[in-house]
Chain A
Amino acid sequence: MNEAEFTRAIETLRDLSRTDVDRRAALDALRQAEFEDVGGTFPRASYLAALRDLIEDRDDEVRRVAIVTLAEEKDPFMQGRLLDGLLGVAPAIVPAARAIQLLSYDSHGPHVPSCRTFAADPSLDEGVRIEALRALGGDPASQGQLQRLMIDRDESLAIRSWAGVSLRALAPRAFARLADAIRKDDSDDRTLRQMYDVAFRTSPTLANLL
């Protein structure tokens, strides 16, 4: 696409008088051009500005792409909207688990402190807690919490295993010790024990961390 075609596509995307089919076609063309962008010719700033105006678009697909693309770009405007919705400061534009997942494209994003709270709260939806746990894999302040959740038999298998995954990302040695203890404990969950057997069997380094 050349500059004029980029401009036309962005205009079409913004133009609510056009059909959804036309607007989706323009969006598809822009997504492809952005993916293939070489030499910096893609008008990224104009594209992202258009997407910011479309996060509450009438068309599901346009809205979805706008939100996801901006989140992947770690766009501060989008991060603010997602976080405000997550914290109840403003109406949520996506469900909570989805908001955390999208915010987590930025592993040091503004949502991380809240995720510590969400992960610890057993009254929350499990999907929210899982995404919160995923977000903590780069958060040194969460090591203790991840360790506790990984071994807490009152927690579900999903919460325990995702706590383990994030702990492994954050503190491999601490993970290795806990995972080794779990896999050797006949009284612990069989699926979890199998999972950690596989983790040890396929890692060139875990056993050396014990």
Chain B
Amino acid sequence: MRLLIRVNGSDDPAVRYIGWTPVPCSVRLAVPAASPVDVRIENPPAAVGRVVFRPPGHRDWTGAFTATLPADGHPAEFEMAGCPSAPSERDGDAGVQATPVVGGAGPAVLPLMVRVRKNAERLSDHERDLFLSALAGINDGGQGLFGEFRAVHTEAGNNEMHGAPGFLAWHRAFLLDFERELQRAFPAVALPYWRFDAAAPKTFSLDFMGVHHPSGLVQFSATNPLFHWITDSQGGVLRSPILWDPAAYPARVPNQSETIRPTTFAGFRRLEGRVHTPVHLRFEGYMGRLETAIRDPLFFLLHAAIDRLWALWQQQRDARDPGARHAYEPGPHRVGHNLPDTMWPWNQVMTRPRPPSAPGGSFPDSPVVSAPGREPRVADVFDYQGVVDPAHRLGVDYDDVA
């Protein structure tokens, strides 16, 4: 008896990446049978990443249930989501297992991954190395696609990305664009985030983001792929924490609970100047200047942390619907920062007041989700988990924001 399991409405292995947001799943008989067949749906016994299921008509999630498959080969549908206490560590280390209850036939297993953004301090060595390999691949010794991202985050585009309400939305889109490019070659990669309000000894180590040195040039181990990180025709990363050691101490900025305390978006978004910029400025070197910050790969870990704070705030304030009054700041704002505005550079608009060039083209597609579209608007990145509308899901989750 052969069972066919399908996730996300497709048989394509490229869609087998899930987060905390429920996705459709189904099981059916490959060949019609004489009568309906009961199958046990559960996690494979050796799964590291774990999923939970919700059969039709049920409110609660469960780790296992019995589905009755129609004899004619029609699918039994149910929902599935990653289990927040057990994200994956490797591609395919989670899965759906379907086993006929009677008859002794072996189980069918569909491997998948519960792929979420994790605290950089808690990555396994495998996850860390995969991320570094993906970074090295996109940089490709200064010849790779990273050059387009580098060309976007400059002073020329400053009005699009900083100093106005769209700061968070623009950077969420930018990170997602970058992450999707990493995932083209390394589908199991998700951007880690750096909790700068805590000591980060693993993050600032020779085998990860490197160790600062009196010369100003970050030290990497010889086997760290970032040893060949090249930007603007120069190898290496310039980064010196100013009177501070991020491996041993938190940054002196408001902590998480203080940052997410404001009840209005206008209050919350002050984190740009109160948290984000001060952390940048705690470094001499690339990170400390807008024009050069992205030359340091730590940029992405810092901004993933900022985005996570927004995700936390959105969760606590039920602010994932951009139409909700408290979810955003009433306008009008300058172009690029109003909810209906398309965001540069993905809109490819190069006439004033937009910047004169738009590197990188339109927004990349994802095999897993359809949002936010080729020319995302500010409003398109709020409902990143598809809470308001499943079609808005961006395919991104944070390990501790379920």
A interface list, Cβ under 8 A from B: 28, 31-32, 35-39, 64, 68, 72, 97-98, 101, 104-105, 107, 127, 130-131, 134-135, 137-138, 161-162, 165-166, 168-170, 172, 175, 191-192, 194-195, 198-199, 201-206
5 A–B contacts, CB within 8 A, in A order: A35-B289, A107-B233, A107-B234, A137-B233, A191-B222
Could you tell me which residues of chain B, from 48 to 106, have a CB within 8 Å of some CB in chain A?
none
A203 adjacent to B235 (CB under 8 Å) = no
The winner among B164, B224, B277 for most chain A CB atoms within 10 A is: B277
Residues of chain B within 8 A (CB-CB) of A36 are: 162-163, 272-273, 277
Residues of chain A within 8 A (CB-CB) of B159 are: 38-39
B284 adjacent to A166 (CB under 8 Å) = no
Say yes or no: A38-B222 contact (C-beta < 8 A), given A72-B289, A104-B234: no
Other-chain contact of A172, B143, B158, B225, B334 (Cβ < 8 Å)? B143
B284 adjacent to A68 (CB under 8 Å) = yes
B interface list, Cβ under 8 A from A: 132-133, 136-137, 140-144, 155, 158-159, 162-164, 185, 215-217, 222-225, 227-228, 230, 232-236, 238, 272-273, 277-278, 280-281, 284, 288-292, 334
Other-chain contact of B223, A72, A101, A172, A198 (Cβ < 8 Å)? A198
A202 adjacent to B133 (CB under 8 Å) = yes
A205 to B230, CA, bound (A): 15
A64 to B216, CA, bound (A): 13
The winner among B144, B155, B215, B273 for most chain A CB atoms within 10 A is: B215
A35 adjacent to B277 (CB under 8 Å) = yes
Say yes or no: A161-B281 contact (C-beta < 8 A), given A134-B235, A137-B234: no
The winner among B224, B234, B236, B273 for most chain A CB atoms within 10 A is: B234
B278 adjacent to A130 (CB under 8 Å) = no
Other-chain contact of B141, A101, A162, A172, A191 (Cβ < 8 Å)? A172
B142 adjacent to A169 (CB under 8 Å) = yes
- Min distance, Cβ A47 to any Cβ of chain B, angstroms: 13
A34 to B303, CA, bound (A): 19
Say yes or no: A169-B290 contact (C-beta < 8 A), given A38-B162, A203-B137, A203-B140: no
The 5 tightest CB contacts between A and B, nearest first, are: A165-B235, A138-B233, A38-B163, A202-B136, A168-B141
B233 adjacent to A202 (CB under 8 Å) = no
A202 adjacent to B235 (CB under 8 Å) = no
- Min distance, Cβ A106 to any Cβ of chain B, angstroms: 10
B281 adjacent to A168 (CB under 8 Å) = no
- Min distance, Cβ B277 to any Cβ of chain A, angstroms: 5
Residues of chain A within 8 A (CB-CB) of B142 are: 137, 168-169
B292 adjacent to A72 (CB under 8 Å) = yes
A38 adjacent to B164 (CB under 8 Å) = yes
A191 to B292, CA, bound (A): 30
B217 adjacent to A101 (CB under 8 Å) = yes
A139 to B262, CA, bound (A): 51
A191 to B216, CA, bound (A): 23
The winner among A161, A166, A194, A198 for most chain B CB atoms within 10 A is: A198
Other-chain contact of A169, B235, B277, B281, B334 (Cβ < 8 Å)? B235
Residues of chain A within 8 A (CB-CB) of B158 are: 37-38
B137 adjacent to A32 (CB under 8 Å) = no
Taking CB as reference atom, which chain A residue is nearest B274? Answer: A32
Other-chain contact of B144, A38, A68, A192, A204 (Cβ < 8 Å)? A204
Residues of chain B within 8 A (CB-CB) of A64 are: 284
Other-chain contact of A127, B215, B233, B277 (Cβ < 8 Å)? B215
Residues of chain B within 8 A (CB-CB) of A138 are: 232-234
